[in-house]
Chains A and B, each alone.
Chain A
Amino acid sequence: MRMPLSWLAEVTDLPPGARGADVAAGLVSVGLEEEDLHGGDLTGPLVVGRVLDFTLEPQKNGKTIRWCTVDVGQNGQMLTEGKHQEIVCGAHNFEVGDLVVVVLPGAVLPGNFAIAARKTYGHVSNGMICAEDEIGLGHDHEGIIVLERLLGAEKAAMLQAGDDAIALLGLAEETVETNVTPDRGYCFSVRGLAREYWHSQGSPAGGYRDPADVATPQANDSGHPIRLDDDAPLDGNVGCDRFVARVVRGIDPTRPSPSWMQKRLTQMGMRPISLAVDVTNYVMLAVGQPLHAYDLAKLDGPIVVRRARSGEALTTLDDVERTLSPEDLLITDSGERPLAIAGVMGGASSEVDDSTTDVLVEAAHFDPTTVARSSRRHRLVTEASKRFERGVDPRVTAAAAQLAVDLLVEHGGGTADPGVTDVDHTTERTAYLLDVTEPSRIVGVDYPRERVLAILRDLGCTVDEAGEGTDDTHVLVTPPSWRPDLVDAPDYAEEVARIDGYNNIPSITPTPSEGRGLTHGQKARRIVADALAGAGYTEVLSYPFVAAELADQLGLAPDDDRREAVRVANPLSEERPLLRTMVLSSLVDVLRRNLARGHKDVAISEIGLVFRPGGPLAKAPIPSVDSRPDDATLEQLYAAVPDQPRRAAAIASGQIEQAGWWGPGRAADWSDMVAAVQSVAGALAVPVVVTNDPGHAPWHPGRCARISLADGTLVGHAGELHPKVLAALDLPPRTVATEFDVDVLTAASEEPVQASEFSSFPPALTDVALLVRSEVAAGDVETALRRGAGESLESIALFDVYEGERVEAGHRSLAYRLTFRALDRTLTTDEVNAFRDAAVAAAAEATGAVQR
């Protein structure tokens, strides 16, 4: 919402010399955020010019420029060279004879843009013919300003070449733009903003002059008939509880709105259109009440406000035919023909035009919810809908209509009908019994009773200190009609704190009595992340949005539950509508991006949630918010939220150990991925078992490890990705990856580690080479050796794997070093040999291993 300083000064007192920045700072201090400052940052010469002549000059770049001669009066080249101003202009929306705005060399435009004569397109251009945005008038850069169009022919006829355009367009004046929060609908008006500025100055007595404070005539029966006929209120609230209709007849349709009004509308960022439309907009900006002007000649009977019928349609002022919903509230002619979507936009059929002489002014109060839903349904955010949605003062209706009538009479030459319609179903706000100590208790500042009451009165509240229930600490407060947001004690506390000054609130560090620190899961997750980084992986965070084709590219079986993905209804990209069911699904994108940027050796990891709906989404209940939902409803609510396990993934391509002066590097292979999971499990002190898994997508069937807990619970998979997957995803051959469940590891690490005793006697080492069939897993051989070796086995290491000429075809040799140690003695050679033989016997039985 914008506000020119001159308009502000009409409503409240501005300190002498106050600048836009001062006003903005004042508004900020009472909680209204500054959005922008317009105007006041331009120095001339900026003058009215008349286009005398131009020649079209096509350019090599395909553009055609106009080489213009412009009469700028006794300014510029006329003073120095005795000739008219010569200017190059790129725009084409003007004719010879048009009045335009010319900025001359020496001027400075907004944004510190200094104007000088400069060579361009083979000419010396002595200044510039201006577009709206260049002089801070608006945001339009479609063409240059033609003053006949901007101000109307009548006003333009009074202008002369060389006139100062800064004063003409109000550019010398600063306009403050403020961001209005949803609870302060009344600040969508000069009336409200000026009131807030007045508060920021300490609310000096007599310093605020309410622009809505005008005399209004008594309603009577002779006005245009209005019927409020809402048979389907939303949430029990009728769509329209007040409708004022006034008629002005005999308006001269050729008369434009006055230039001061046009200037203000322009400053407010609105475009002057016609007297009737400009007046309704001007009054809305002044007091916050959206108005609508109908051409009375286009109405056949009474105005009926009702809900739309299904199948009904209306062509709105923006020339779009809109199919209406039974929730839309309509203004209709005689209950039949729709004239407008209430509070949102009028229809084309009853629009005022250049032959309209009799105007019906509508000032109504519409239900915020009804307007909000219509605005959202039709994707139509208008000046009116913005205000109604946030709440319009239901007591300003008649005054707004009166202000509009007065302006139409004064500037259109019309006459106001004596008939005044005011259907008023609004109710008075009830008083709230406020504990005056409550603001102190909520804010933490000691506000004396008198301070609280003075602030409330300044805000426009009625304070009753004697009514029912009042005592030393309680008063009855009725908020002003424009403040629907003031309901209970916290609302009043905020007002007191805001007007007294938020910066008076002290700072007291809260002191929770008992904190249990991070949970085991939270600590464990950090350990996982740190362990992955410690193992050489760089942590990244990818978007969880994936393509539908990814499941096929990853080679997931038709019945793989990782195909069950949640679909986003409004994805940013139609190509990626699904939520990932694996972290790897989106981590591959990051790998590809890094490779595309020229990183050849990439090892990255991510920990994050995946989305596992396990079927179609359940419907989550939407219980009432009036009290805590019962346990059954809450359980249903929580259960409707799909399973979102936390998983970690890592992927690597290229060399994991760099080549260098020491020799060649080492490419990442499947074992690095198994090692990564083992490092993480080791960091959490969780023992894991590795087995070959020949059938788990997207891994290579011969190079995939299944990693599980000792009890068999799956932790995850690690290894080389399937060559087909790599081809489908356009990733380098031999790319390796792992994905594992962090929650499983976390849970497994919860129980305290139980320490084993260890021996201080010397170790006894013995080596054994076993011949096994090639398909026998080394992990199985080791398990059997451990089982057979007995309790004295301290460690076992596979130190050689041989397959080749020296062993039987289809077999391989596995060489193990076994280390034995007893808790209570030094083992004898005989004992060690016996243990070894037992180990070999167990391996032989389990895997067919033969000692070489």
Chain B
Amino acid sequence: MSRNAGASEAPQPPTDESSERTPMSGPNTNYDPVEVAALDPAQIDAAVEQALAAAAAAGSLEELKAVRTAHQGEKSALALANREIAALPPSAKAEAGKRVGQARGRVAQAFAARQGELEVERDERILVEERVDVTVPALRRRPGARHPIELTAQRLVDAFVGMGWEVAEGPELESEWLNFDALNLGPDHPARQMQDTFFLDPVDSGLVLRTQTSPVQIRTMLDQEPPIYVVAPGKVFRTDDLDATHTPVFHQIECLAIDKGLTMAHLRGALDAFVRIMFGEETRTRVRANYFPFTEPSMETDFLCFACHGAETWGTAEQCRTCGGSGWIELGGSGMVNRKVLRTCGIDPDIYSGFAFGLGIERALMLRHGVQGMHDMVEGDLRFSQQFGMGA
């Protein structure tokens, strides 16, 4: 760096006293080129050079403001020169005016440019100074979350509603007749014994905690005229103690369709739609016969394991944990609604047919989200629901 670059060694603007000593010029009374030294081209050039050097030397907007008055203010050399022009004879005015004007223009431009540079510098500096560490914690209030069982039910419901189905609901404390008898589960039916029912006091009240969402289907058929396309999600109850695979309170979702001309092929179509919603577009199903009192014919559905894509890994070191190695996962029971059930609900089985199927939402959740056991779903530990946010 040049030792002469310092502002103190730069050419100084005229001081206030020197400008005060300069007499105010009047209009051309006693023209003397020697007296109007302010208009001397060399002096003007020098003033310009000094101004440019001062502008360049200003290191901040404050410094620039300070030197600007000296070089551009009322009392600066160039302002003085400008005023002197008036005293010149008309013949000299044009040239002097041009010279002084150009000089003042250069100085103004230089100051404006420097002003711009310094403003940019200042703005950048402020941004740097205002920097914070944005990686410190920002959430002062913990966000809430929905329970994934509710979210899973919503997801399935939405998909079926999108296909034109509606949602049906019913009470959890339900009439025994709607929960069993109307579903072709008479008091002596072996299948009725399989279900571990919560009875209420007094036991002959004819009321139970519903063991399935199927009474909602009965209510729908009793109360509505076909065609019926409903999906019924809800809470159900069985007298099982809580363990890894059982819980006394769990959730089912059932679908019921009653219309003219429905066949098992439509049932299969609806089941396929169901598994695609839950487990992806590529999911295939296979079906086999089974027995449920509510349906005849009845059907059991398996779908291709989404984890191993049907590889038979049973007994090998890579045995699939999702399907247990068979390559297929059991979805649940289904079938064509038993004619007896249709008759009980006042629907003519010679005109209408229909199908029904259902599955446990907990199981779907375990499969789709890798939930390891029932405990997390029922205990209400904050950490569980919070993983799922407002949608899963």
Whether A594 lies near B381 (C-beta < 8 A) is yes
Pull 17 A–B residue pairs with CB atoms less than 8 Å apart, ordered by A: A368-B188, A509-B266, A509-B269, A510-B257, A510-B270, A512-B227, A515-B229, A517-B161, A517-B166, A518-B161, A536-B142, A538-B386, A572-B248, A593-B381, A640-B205, A640-B206, A642-B207
Write the B362-392 contact mask toward A (1 if CB under 8 angstroms, else 0).
Answer: 0000000000000001111110011000100
CA A605 to CA B288, docked complex, whole Å = 42
Residues of A within 8 A of B270 (CB): 509-510
* Given A444-B263, A490-B296: A510 in contact with B182 (beta carbons within 8 A): no
Complex Cα spacing A493 to B265, Å: 13
Q: Verify B199–A369 contact, CB threshold 8 A.
A: no
For the complex, what is the distance from the CA of A444 to the CA of B269, rounded to whole Å?
11
Query: Could you tell me if A490 and B200 are in contact, using CB atoms closer than 8 angstroms?
Result: no
B198 interface contact, C-beta 8 A = yes
- In the bound complex, residues from chain A placing their C-beta under 8 Å from that of B262 are 510
Are A443 and B263 in touch, CB under 8 angstroms?
Answer: yes
- Indicate which residue in A599, A605, A638, A641 contacts B173 across the interface (CB closer than 8 Å): A641
In the complex where A518-B167, A628-B222 touch, is A526 in contact with B381 (Cβ < 8 A)?
no
State A503–B339 Cα separation when bound (angstroms): 23
Contact B147 A506 (CB under 8 A): no
Chain A residues positioned under 8 Å from B173 (CB to CB): 566, 579, 611, 641-642, 644
Cβ contact within 8 Å between A566 and B200 = yes
CB-CB nearest in chain A for B349: A490
CA distance in complex: A634, B219 (Å): 10
**Chain A, 586-624, CB within 8 A of any chain B CB:** 590, 593-594, 597, 599, 601-605, 608-609, 611, 617-623
In the complex, are the beta carbons of B288 and A28 less than 8 A apart?
yes
Could you give, for residues 571-594 of chain A, a 1 whenever the CB lies within 8 Å of some chain B CB and a 0 otherwise? 110000101000000000010011
Q: Which residues of B contact A445 (CB under 8 A)?
A: 264-265
CB of B200 within 8 A of CB of A601, answer no
B61 at the interface (CB under 8 A from A): no
Is A828 on the interface with B (CB-CB < 8 A)?
A: no
User: With A490-B296, A493-B297, A510-B257 known to touch, is A625 a contact of B287 (CB < 8 Å)?
Assistant: no
Partner of B150, one of A509, A511, A539, A571: A539
| Interface stretch (choices A119-127, A178-186, A222-230, A778-786) | A178-186
CB atoms of A640 and B207 under 8 A apart: yes
B69 sits at the interface (CB 8 A): no
A115 to chain B, nearest CB (A): 19
Alpha-carbon distance between A510 and B271 when the two chains are bound, in angstroms: 10
A542 within 8 A of B: yes
When chains A and B are docked, how far (Å) is the Cα of A637 from the Cα of B344?
14
A389, A506, A540, A544: which contacts B385 (Cβ < 8 A)?
Answer: A540
A505 within 8 A of partner (CB): yes
Complex interface bits, A628-656 against B, C-beta within 8 A gives 1, otherwise 0: 10000010011011101000000000001
CB of B166 within 8 A of CB of A516, answer: yes
A513 to B146, CA, bound (A): 33
Interchain CA distance A697-B243 in the complex, whole Å: 35
Interface string of A426-451 (1 = CB under 8 A from B): 00000000000000011111000000
Q: Which residue of A lies closest to B160 (CB)?
A: A515
Min C-beta distance of A837 to chain B, whole Å? 41
Which residue from A513, A579, A628 sits with its C-beta under 8 Å from B164?
A513
Interface pair B249/A544, CB less than 8 Å apart: yes
Within the assembled complex, what's the spacing in Å between the Cα atoms of A693 and B292? Answer: 53
Does B136 contact A661, Cβ atoms closer than 8 Å?
Answer: yes
**A509-B353 in contact (CB<8A):** no
Are A626 and B343 CB-contacts (below 8 A) given A442-B336, A510-B257?
Answer: yes
B residues in contact with A579, CB < 8 Å: 173, 209
Interface residue? A376 (CB, 8 A): yes
Please give the distance in Å from B242's CB to the nearest CB on chain A: 9
A510 contacts across to B, CB distance below 8 A: 229, 257, 259, 262, 266, 269-270
A625 and B297 contact, CB distance less than 8 A = no
Given A536-B142, A634-B222: A628 in contact with B381 (beta carbons within 8 A): no
How far does the alpha carbon of A29 sit from the alpha carbon of B241 in the complex, in Å? 33
Check A30 for interface membership: any CB of B closer than 8 A. Answer: yes
**Distance between Cα atoms of A443 and B137 in the complex (Å):** 61
In the bound assembly, the distance between CA atoms of A671 and B205 in angstroms comes to 43
Nearest residue (CB) in A for B272 is: A507
What per-residue 1/0 map shows which CB atoms of A524-540 lie under 8 Å from chain B?
A: 00100110111111111
Is residue B130 within 8 Å, beta carbon to beta carbon, of the partner chain? no
- A contact residues around B207 at 8 Å (CB): 617, 620, 640-642
Of A515, A539, A569, which one neighbours B147 at CB under 8 angstroms?
A539
Known: A539-B150, A543-B249. Is A570-B144 also a contact (CB below 8 A)?
no
Q: A444-B264, A637-B177, A657-B141 are in contact. Are A491 and B385 (CB under 8 A)?
A: no
* A31 on interface, CB distance cutoff 8 Å: yes
Number of interface residues of B (CB under 8 A): 102
Q: Do A660 and B206 touch across chains, with their CB atoms under 8 A apart?
A: no
Q: Does B201 contact A (CB under 8 A)?
A: yes
Contacts A512-B165, A640-B206 given; does A507 touch B379 at CB 8 Å: no
Query: Which residues of A sit under 8 angstroms from B385, Cβ to Cβ?
Result: 538-540
**Closest-CB distance, A496 to chain B (whole angstroms):** 9
Is B140 positioned at the interface, with any CB of A under 8 Å from its CB? Answer: yes
A103 CA to B338 CA, complexed, in Å:
54
Which residue among A513, A543, A599 has the maximum number of chain B CB atoms within 10 Å of its CB?
Answer: A543
Whole-angstrom CA separation of A503 from B141 in the bound complex: 54
0 or 1 for each of B169-194: is its CB under 8 Å from A? (1 = yes): 10111111110011010101111010
Main DSSP-derived SS at the A contact region: loop
Query: Counting CB contacts under 8 A, is B224 at the interface?
Result: no
Q: Which residues of B contact A665 (CB under 8 A)?
A: 140
Select the residue from B149, B269, B271 with max chain A CB neighbours within 10 A. B269
Verify B144–A541 contact, CB threshold 8 A. Answer: no
B299 contacts the other chain (CB 8 A): yes
Contact with B along A443-463 (1 / 0, CB 8 A): 111000000000000000000
A19 to B286: give the CA distance in the assembly, Å: 23
Provide the bound-state CA to CA distance between A579 and B235, in Å.
Answer: 14
Which residue from chain A places its CB closest to the CB of B183 in the assembled complex? A625
Residues of B within 8 A of A540 (CB): 147, 380, 385
A594 touches B209 (CB 8 A): no
Instruction: Select one of B157, B190, B379 contacting A389, CB under 8 A.
Output: B190
Given contacts A444-B264, A505-B268, A507-B269, contact A609 B171 (CB under 8 A): yes
- The answer on a CB contact under 8 Å between B140 and A662 is yes
Given known contacts A442-B336, A538-B145, A658-B140, what 11 new A-B pairs fall within 8 Å (CB)? Answer: A442-B353, A503-B286, A514-B164, A517-B166, A518-B161, A538-B385, A544-B249, A569-B200, A570-B199, A604-B382, A626-B343
**Which residues of A have CB within 8 Å of B287?**
502-503, 505
Contact of B241 among A31, A572, A628 (CB under 8 A): A572
Q: Does A10 contact B (CB under 8 A)?
A: no
B248 — which chain A residues lie within 8 A by C-beta?
543, 572
Q: Does A373 contact B (CB under 8 A)?
A: yes
Given the complex of chains A and B, what is the CA–CA distance between A479 and B202 in angstroms?
43
**Are B288 and A509 within 8 A (Cβ)?**
no
Q: Which of B140, B149, B190, B263 contacts A660 (CB 8 A)?
A: B140
Give the 9 A-B CB pairs with smallest separation, nearest first.
Answer: A31-B289, A628-B346, A444-B263, A444-B265, A494-B297, A620-B206, A540-B380, A181-B291, A590-B380
Contact call A644/B161, Cβ cutoff below 8 A: no
**Does residue B214 face the partner (Cβ distance < 8 Å to A)?**
no
Contact of A506 among B142, B268, B271 (CB under 8 A): B268
Query: Which residues of the other chain, B, contact A48 by a CB distance below 8 angstroms?
Result: none
Residue pair B181, A625 in contact (C-beta under 8 Å):
yes
Q: Are A441 and B146 in contact (CB under 8 A)?
A: no
Tell me the bound Cα distance from A590 to B293 in angstroms.
Answer: 38
Q: Is the CB of B291 within 8 A of A184?
A: yes
Taking the closest CB of chain B, its distance from the CB of A367, in whole angstroms, is 10
Complex-state Cα separation, A516 to B229, whole angstroms: 11
| Contacting pair A625 B266 (CB below 8 A) | no
Choose one: A28, A493, A594, A656; the contact of B380 (CB below 8 Å). A594
- Bound together, the chains give a CA A490 to CA B353 distance in angstroms of 11
Would you call B290 an interface residue if the criterion is a C-beta within 8 Å of the partner chain's C-beta atoms? yes
- For residue A519, CB closer than 8 A to chain B, the reply is yes
